[in-house]
Amino acid sequence: MKTVVRFAPSPTGLIHLGNARPALFNWLYARATGGKFILRFDDTDQERSTRAFADAIEKDLNWLGIHPDRTVRQSDRLALYDAARDRLISEGKLYPCYETSDELNRRRSRARALGRPPIYDRAALDLSDEDRKKLEEEGRKPHWRFKLKGNPVHFDDLVRGSQTVNTASMSDPVLVRGDGSYLYTLPSVVDDIDLGVSHIIRGEDHISNSGVQVEIFEALGATAPTFAHHNLLTDAQGKGLSKRIGSLAISELREQGFEPMAVAAMAVLTGTSQPVEPYHSLDDLAQKLDFSMISHGAARYDEAELEALNARILHQGHYGDYAERLAELGVKNEQVWLALRGNITRLPQVAEWLPLINGPIVPEIATQDRDFITKAAELLPQEPWDQNTWQSWTGTLKEQTGRRGKALFLPLRLALTGRPDGPELKNLLPLLGRKACLDRLS
């Protein structure tokens, strides 16, 4: 059977690193198995869903390297859900309920006080046609609940192994609101059937939902797809990234200068047995994907680890990979890139180091170092220069001044760059040229 997976965001906001994790797992699995990836917008919430958010989500996914084989929107598929609703109603598997939110809250509170689980008591099933007519004449509109079988639901999870969800301990879920709009569950199941989804890969917070959904699949005459429930990305305190303020929106990470492969590798490899390390492409990462590598424990995200991973990717990358973006930042040749890249963790930072080459800088020459710097200018070699010029020049200075170590190198760095740190001077010297160095040493 051909692999078909889906990523189903609600376009009610921007996607963040926590959302990128299931999106990437689905994409990588499709790539590894030669399958199809469907982007499905769960946009039945017309009040909160916007086309602007949907467009932003597509842009973020494309930046990560995810290019859907097909895109669908639930708002275009309401007739399918209506047909499924009518079928379940006709078969007595979906029944109308008239309780208000306050009434339901009071029942749950009373159940807790009596030491019983606060699940729905199915009181609506005892209503007669006359009772329902009277309630509707009072202005009440029914919401519709799916009647669970109450049997243990078993399924094999590709990440977590054999799973059992006991639906007897759950309330019959509301599938249709009083205003006729659909909650997540029914449209999701109907879409998975209609689109031929073979694998549902998502966060472990959906495990209990899977028990309900398996029953709805069966009620609609279908077999549930294979499930894979991965651990969730959390912060250092164990709080889910989707719950925290400033939740690492993919668009923000892009604007901050992170590389898409750094974000992708971080989202996928955190909380697995694989090291979080650079990959050249998502196809390379797909070859490593094995659901057995996903831990059953928390996947703790570390901002410093993302920064370090991004730096490793930049330092290992080729000039051609970044040439167009570097040109926009003012770097026009590979030699400048090679000289500066070791001091950056994100590409835009290269612009902060360009003044070391192009100026202006304010040289720092301490009073006690002035004679030494004057001598250094006198001994500055003639051009042409290469990467050996620095060693040759400082070797001569060492012999003639007796300075060595920090006393030799730091005054030269301060005079030439105005900073106590920065790129290796053996790489900077040929880019500066003799005239600029003399000007700074003066």
Mind listing the pLDDT tens digit for each residue in 2-40?
999 999 999 999 999 999 999 999 999 999 999 999 999
pLDDT-derived band at 242, boundaries 50, 70, 90: low
DSSP string across 42-85: ----TTT--HHHHHHHHHHHHHHT---SEEEEGGG-HHHHHHHH
Residue 60 clears pLDDT 70, i.e. is over it? yes
Using an 8 Å Cβ cutoff, are 25 and 233 in contact? no
Burial of 239 (0-12, 13-18, 19+ CB in 10 A): exposed
Q: Which residues contact 442 (CB under 8 A, 6 or more apart)?
A: 377
252 Rama sector, left if φ>0, alpha if ψ -120 to 50, beta otherwise: alpha
Model confidence at 140: pLDDT above 50: yes
Report the distance separating Cα 32 and Cα 26, nearest Å: 10
Lowest mean pLDDT among 142-156, 227-241, 347-361, 377-391: 227-241
Neighbouring residues of 42: CB distance < 8 A, sequence distance ≥ 6? 8, 9, 10, 11, 74, 184, 187, 188
Mean pLDDT value of segment 432-439: 95
The per-residue pLDDT of the chain, averaged, comes to 94
User: What is the dihedral sign for C-alpha 216, 221, 224, 225?
Assistant: negative
Residue 246 pLDDT > 70, yes or no? no
C-alpha to C-alpha distances, 23 to 9, 58, 254, nearest whole angstrom: 9, 11, 17
Identity at 137, one-letter amino acid code? E
What average pLDDT does the segment 79-100 reach? 97
Q: Which residues contact 84 (CB under 8 A, 6 or more apart)?
A: 186, 189, 190, 220
Supply the pLDDT for residue 226.
98
What is the rounded distance in angstroms from the CA atom of residue 92 to the CA atom of residue 366? 89
Assess whether pLDDT exceeds 50 at residue 244: no
Tokens of 228: 């894979």
Tokens linked to 166:
């006991």
DSSP 8-state assignment for residue 404 = -
- CA distances 329 to 11, 213, 318, 346, 357, Å, are 33, 51, 17, 12, 14
73 phi, psi to nearest 5 deg: -125, 130
Q: How far is Cα 441 from Cα 412, in angstroms, rounded to an integer?
A: 8
List the structure tokens of 34: 């030669």
- Domain residue extents for the chain: 319-353, 367-441
Question: Of the candidates 190, 249, 210, 212, which has an alpha carbon nearest to the alpha carbon of residue 63?
Answer: 249
DSSP type of residue 240: B
Q: Are 232 and 299 in contact (CB under 8 A)?
A: yes
- Amino acid 291: pLDDT: 95
Query: Which residue in 186, 230, 176 sits closest to 212, CA to CA?
Result: 186
The CATH code of domain 367-441 reads 1.10.10.350
Spatial distance between the Cα atoms of 93 and 216, rounded to a whole number of angstroms: 9
Structure tokens at 138: 């009072």
Digit-coded pLDDT (tens) for 326-343: 999 999 999 999 999 999
Is residue 98 within 8 Å of 234, Cβ to Cβ? no
pLDDT of residue 237: 76
Q: Exposed, middle or buried, 204 (CB in 10 Å: 0-12/13-18/19+)?
A: middle
pLDDT at 350: 96
Cα separation, 182 vs 42, in Å, equals 11
Smallest CA-to-CA distance from 369 within 417, 333, 408, 336 is with: 408
For the segment 405-412, the average pLDDT, to the nearest whole number, is: 97
E strand or H helix at 203, and its extent? strand 199-203
* Residue 418, helix vs strand vs coil: coil
Summarised one tens digit per residue, pLDDT across range 91-122 is: 999 999 999 999 999 998 998 888 888 999 99
CB neighbour list of residue 225: distance below 8 Å, 6 or more residues apart: 192, 197, 198, 199, 200
Contact 177, 204 (CB under 8 A): no
Which DSSP symbol is given to 180? S
pLDDT score at 247: 57
* CA-closest candidate to residue 50, choices 59, 41, 60: 41
Per-residue pLDDT at 245 exceeds 80: no
- Cα–Cα dist 280/286, whole Å: 11
